[in-house]
Amino acid sequence: MRISALADRTGVAVATLKYYLREGLLHPGTPTSRTQAVYDDEHVERVLLVRALIGSAGLSLAAVREVLAVLDDPPGSRHDLLGTTQRALLREETGAGDGTGATPAGEDDDDPWTEQALALVAAQGWFRDPILVRRLANQLRAASAAGVACVDEQLVALAEAADLIATSDLRTVPEDAAGAARQVVVGTLLTDPVILTLRRFAQQHASGGAAASGRAGASR
């Protein structure tokens, strides 16, 4: 198919497709002349993936390149695959900040948020990843600055829910390297927003149940 047909199939403008080609996010088509090329279903799949990573997952072009590199040459084991993916994404966050607006803190900083983050990680038996500890501490600091204190009981409940999600994630990973790479990398990135939406549903349900219980109690 011509690039115009690729644009029709993917819903991505020709100018954007040419940009993807220039940036190396989309591999070149098969040349048919000096200025023309044809594209196939693999190009359609790659364009839809890039669009999802930039749009739904909110990744920068640099992070998209890292993710695509992992997908194109995945590590052998699931653990290494997840580690490689997380390192690629965390490098971007380390360079650009974590979006909290807080000043980055080192893991050894003597502040209550780092201490709280480290205590939670230790209690859950998680690996003490310094970048993730710093990220969590900054997020706790930002919440506190906005007047929303994250108490230990709430954090433990969230951590336990995260453990359940992680276990469910790994159960869906196929055995083949290419399928595993796609599921771990793309699945994690694109289901993060799904988890947030499910949380909103659950909050509405819990709030509605509490309100109904309160009305029933008041009518007695």
* Total residue length of the chain: 220
Residue 142 falls within a domain, yes or no?
yes
Residue 135 falls within a domain, yes or no?
yes
3-state SS class at 51: helix
Full residue range of the structural domain in which residue 164 is found: 99-171
For residue 94, which of 133, 143, 126 has the smallest C-alpha distance? Answer: 133
Give the CA distances from residue 54 to residues 4, 20, 32, 48, 142, in Å, rounded to whole numbers and listed in that order: 21, 11, 30, 10, 26
Segments of the chain scoring below 50 in pLDDT: 96-107
pTM above 0.75, yes or no: no
For the record, the structure tokens of 113 come out as 């948020």
CA atoms of 72 and 63, how far apart (whole Å): 14
- pLDDT of 140: 94
Residues 42-83: pLDDT tens digits?
999 999 989 988 887 778 888 888 888 878 887 767 677 777
Residue 219 falls within a domain, yes or no?
no
- pLDDT of 72: 81
Residue 207 falls within a domain, yes or no?
no
- pLDDT of 180: 72
CA atoms of 70 and 78, how far apart (whole Å): 12
- pLDDT of 109: 55
Distance of alpha carbon 144 from its chain centroid, rounded? 24
Residue 103 falls within a domain, yes or no?
yes
For the record, the structure tokens of 52 come out as 């999802």
Residue 208 falls within a domain, yes or no?
no
Residue 16 falls within a domain, yes or no?
no
Residue 197 falls within a domain, yes or no?
no
Residues 139-150: pLDDT tens digits?
999 999 999 888
| CB-CB contact of 29 with 14 (8 Å) | no
Buried b (16+ CB within 10 A) or exposed e, 185-204: bbbbbebeeeeeeeeeeeee
How many domains does the chain fold into?
1
Radius of gyration of the chain measured on its C-alpha atoms:
22
Strand partners, 82: none
